[in-house]
Structure 1
Amino acid sequence: MDSIDTSSKPVEGPGFSILAIGALYRDVIVKVPQFPAEDAKQSATSEKVRVGGNISNTLSVLSQVVAPGTQLLYATAVGGPEAIWRITQLKTSEVKSLLFTHFFPKTTFMSHAYDDMLSRVYNAHSSFYPSWIHFEGRECFMVEGVIDHFISRREYKQNPCVISVEFEAYGRPGLDRLMGMCDVAFIAEGYMKAFLEEASKGSWDGNDKELMVRLFTNYLKRTAKRRATAFITVGSKGAYAVRFDAGTVEMRYIPAPEIASSEIVETTGAGDTFIAAAIYALGYRRLDAVKAAKIAVNVASKKCMLIGYDGLGNPGAGFGVLEGENPFATPAVGMSPVLPPARPTDGLL
């Protein structure tokens, strides 16, 4: 394997910026003394309200490790009186470099507001061209329109932006079509499992992770974009870095570090944290996919030991020791040679 720079200093090159599109939520975290039995009632000991949503979680983590002033744009459509509360909290305490958020009066169909928001992305910010665009994987047919808009611009011909999509909930209309349009796919184990069950017309116990990934990627190589990269998370087992190249597939398994159950305090948002760390490594640091997966697994594991997302990193040191070979991490087990270097025309990969 070629040596990889594991220092925290970003490499020199075109500035990193990201446009992330997805839903915004109000998360309510309720604490109980113990996990309740089925149909049992149990009083909560505390309740905490915070900003939620996959994209806001991802940007909250990413904002900790990029240089001040880095453009992290969050485009979302929300409705109702609580939208203002959420946006204010997000601006002041979560995403420090948030530049804009669209919110609209509550409508009968959420897609109306979403469509309006996208039209503003097209027009009001026509001068802005990000180096990375990330989609949560909702309103997928509209996402196609956003992708078509950006790849048709002259900037894309000169310096292609990286397009990434999260594949979390299998069965969302149009989500499967996005696999052939993205440069980077973030695929949850649940999505992979549901895909295989539908393809095989049966249930899947999911115990053999490697077999699942091999079967799944065998399907995907028919539709994935040429030289696309995929990260497939498998919960506490870690993740797989996958590279598609003209019908061939190369994989590398990155095991998760062993953490005592007593140290796990919150797993909600671990997947969003993984995505943030991978985007940081690939897009901001310009590391390869294997190194990005190692960093992402470590950072997501660390997040499970924290309440919320604060304290994972800082602009000066990045994710710190989580970016290097340290006692917290486990060496990767290679199932194939190192992933091939990307061509310059492949943008930031």
Structure 2
Amino acid sequence: MSRKRTRFVAVGACAIDNILDVPYFPEEDSKLRATSMRKRRGGNCPNSLEVLQQLISRDLGHEEPNGDRTGKATSSADSAELELLLIATLPSRKSEQLAFIKSSFDRSLSMDSGASSKPQNRPMLPKIDLSHCVYREDHTEPVSSYIISSQSNSSRTIINHNALPEMTFGEFVSLTHDLLQSQSGSTPGAVEQVWFHFEGRIPQITLQCIRYLRNHRSINAGFAVDPRKLRLSVSVEVEKPGREGLQELAQEADVVFYSRSWAGAEGYDSAETCLNDQSRLILCNPSTTKHGERMLICPWGAKGACATILPEASGSHDPTKEASTLESTECSVVHSPAYISETKRIIDTTGAGDTFIAAMLFGLMTRKQTEETPAQHDRALWSLKQRLDFANALAGRKILQDGFQGLRDLNED
């Protein structure tokens, strides 16, 4: 049995969310009393990491057919280790707000270990490594979000404030060089993977970061392990409408998550039309020949989610010969319906997209691709449709509760 070690690095903002629950969205220049107020750690990447914590822990506590809990990964022939890291810009190490952020991650661990329903020998949630974050010692406030959550129609309006200087490309290079060098301490003979997921907040900097990783991977500069045993994957979230440079990020990533809001602002009326058009744009780009297989994903709320896999480029690219063919090409799009409860009401939609992304990434990193046939169905082998179904189910159940606690106890089917 070989032990595979995957290091998942999420790059994005870490915020503190201040959530106001109101009976309805207020009119301008009016006064309205909130029914409740909550404060919690937020941010796309930290939210996804919190969900991944739970999914990994559930995997480690998977029951064998005889009912015994081994405390080891038993879902496939080869065991796996998944490490979680966050790269974000944070305030001073001495600030009260940073203490709140750190305690929010630690609280997930303590709540898990103290749960009365916790089975005997249930594995603890894996810790999230914050040691590679960028700390701004002259700032005391992190990114802040003020969320108005309307109970009348389950809408949410988000106002962000950020006074922290963003991470520079030079800082990213310094942080990741050290991170990748530490791979040399891994188990001899292990097949390792490093997966970088970018929120896509500052596209110009993010593009530099992705190209730096790809360039150094190709020439094996800065990596301490055998390049034949290190796989590098990059995923990116294309979320905010009107943000310049997101299209360029999609061209460079192995996995792309398009938000419904971004797709709608671009003129797409469905996830299928978005993926078909984006597939043509990516395949027509000469840089496609530098990369292998791509995956494009687009959730569409109550209408479910779609995904497609673009084939690996042949290595030759003749724009004049291939343009007409690619323009008329429609990719094979897989659709999964949304999970909708007929008996429960929506409570908290904040973080639903982050939950969907975490569930998809979990499937991509821990569930191998297989043909969609009953004879080959296995817990460790998921088709693209199964990954989408799992992500939709988890995101659909998340909005029926406040926060992310307890998501790992939901069934996969």
Class of the TM-score when normalised by the shorter of the 2 chains: 0.7 to 0.9
Q: Does residue 288 in structure 1 map to residue 370 in structure 2?
A: no
| Cross-structure match for 1:178 | 249
Q: Does residue 87 in structure 1 map to residue 101 in structure 2?
A: yes
TM-score of the aligned structures, taking structure 1 as reference length: 0.75
Provide the rounded CA distance (Å) in 2 between the counterparts of 1:267 and 1:236: 12
Distance 1:182 1:15, change over 3 A: same
User: C-alpha displacement at 1:113, in angstroms?
Assistant: 4.0
Identity rate of aligned residues, in percent? 26
| Pick aligned residue for 1:35 from 24, 39, 42 | 24
> Which secondary structure does the structure 2 equivalent of 1:170 belong to?
coil
- AA paired with 2:19? I
- Gaps (5+ residues) in structure 2? 61-80, 110-125, 140-161, 184-192, 314-325, 369-381
Provide the rounded CA distance (Å) in 1 between the counterparts of 2:275 and 2:169: 35
User: C-alpha displacement at 1:86, in angstroms?
Assistant: 4.0
TM-score of the aligned structures, taking structure 2 as reference length: 0.65
> Which secondary structure does the structure 2 equivalent of 1:42 belong to?
coil
| Cross-structure match for 1:98 | 128
- AA paired with 1:239? A
User: C-alpha displacement at 1:258, in angstroms?
Assistant: 2.6
Provide the rounded CA distance (Å) in 1 between the counterparts of 2:393 and 2:283: 27
- AA paired with 1:161? L
| Pick aligned residue for 1:142 from 202, 205, 229 | 205
User: C-alpha displacement at 1:309, in angstroms?
Assistant: 0.4
Distance 1:228 1:136, change over 3 A: same
Contact kept in structure 2, 1:273 and 1:300, CA below 8 Å: yes
Deviates more, 1:221-230 or 1:293-302: 221-230
User: C-alpha displacement at 1:48, in angstroms?
Assistant: 0.9
Contact kept in structure 2, 1:168 and 1:188, CA below 8 Å: yes
Distance 1:75 1:57, change over 3 A: same
Distance 1:14 1:265, change over 3 A: same
Contact kept in structure 2, 1:135 and 1:166, CA below 8 Å: yes
User: C-alpha displacement at 1:212, in angstroms?
Assistant: 4.8
CA RMSD, Structure 1 to Structure 2 (Å)? 2.9
User: C-alpha displacement at 1:104, in angstroms?
Assistant: 1.2
Q: Does residue 310 in structure 1 map to residue 408 in structure 2?
A: no
Distance 1:72 1:262, change over 3 A: same
- AA paired with 1:76? A
Q: Does residue 118 in structure 1 map to residue 172 in structure 2?
A: yes
- AA paired with 2:303? K
Provide the rounded CA distance (Å) in 2 between the counterparts of 1:166 and 1:219: 17
> Which secondary structure does the structure 1 equivalent of 2:47 belong to?
helix
| Pick aligned residue for 2:38 from 40, 48, 68 | 48
Deviates more, 1:143-152 or 1:233-242: 143-152
User: C-alpha displacement at 1:18, in angstroms?
Assistant: 0.2
Distance 1:160 1:307, change over 3 A: same
User: C-alpha displacement at 1:180, in angstroms?
Assistant: 1.8
> Which secondary structure does the structure 1 equivalent of 2:175 belong to?
helix
> Which secondary structure does the structure 2 equivalent of 1:124 belong to?
helix
| Cross-structure match for 1:240 | 306
Provide the rounded CA distance (Å) in 1 between the counterparts of 2:345 and 2:336: 21
User: C-alpha displacement at 1:179, in angstroms?
Assistant: 1.3
- AA paired with 1:22? G
Structure showing greater radius of gyration is 2
> Which secondary structure does the structure 2 equivalent of 1:137 belong to?
coil
User: C-alpha displacement at 1:87, in angstroms?
Assistant: 3.1
Q: Does residue 58 in structure 1 map to residue 48 in structure 2?
A: yes
Q: Does residue 75 in structure 1 map to residue 117 in structure 2?
A: no
Larger relative contact order, structure 1 or 2 (CA cutoff 8 Å, min sep 6): 1
Contact kept in structure 2, 1:21 and 1:136, CA below 8 Å: yes
User: C-alpha displacement at 1:57, in angstroms?
Assistant: 0.3
| Pick aligned residue for 2:264 from 193, 210, 217 | 193
Provide the rounded CA distance (Å) in 2 between the counterparts of 1:104 and 1:115: 15
Provide the rounded CA distance (Å) in 2 between the counterparts of 1:12 and 1:302: 35
- AA paired with 1:72? L
Contact kept in structure 2, 1:241 and 1:251, CA below 8 Å: yes
Distance 1:23 1:262, change over 3 A: same
Distance 1:91 1:211, change over 3 A: closer
Q: Deviations over 1:129-161 (max 9, x none)?
A: 553110001222322333233332335554322
| Cross-structure match for 2:318 | none
- AA paired with 2:134? H
Provide the rounded CA distance (Å) in 1 between the counterparts of 2:97 and 2:243: 24
| Cross-structure match for 1:346 | none
| Cross-structure match for 2:68 | none
- Gaps (5+ residues) in structure 1? 1-10, 197-203, 315-319, 325-349
Number of aligned residues = 298
| Cross-structure match for 2:156 | none
User: C-alpha displacement at 1:93, in angstroms?
Assistant: 2.0
**Which has the larger share of strand?**
2
User: C-alpha displacement at 1:46, in angstroms?
Assistant: 1.7
User: C-alpha displacement at 1:242, in angstroms?
Assistant: 1.1
User: C-alpha displacement at 1:187, in angstroms?
Assistant: 0.8
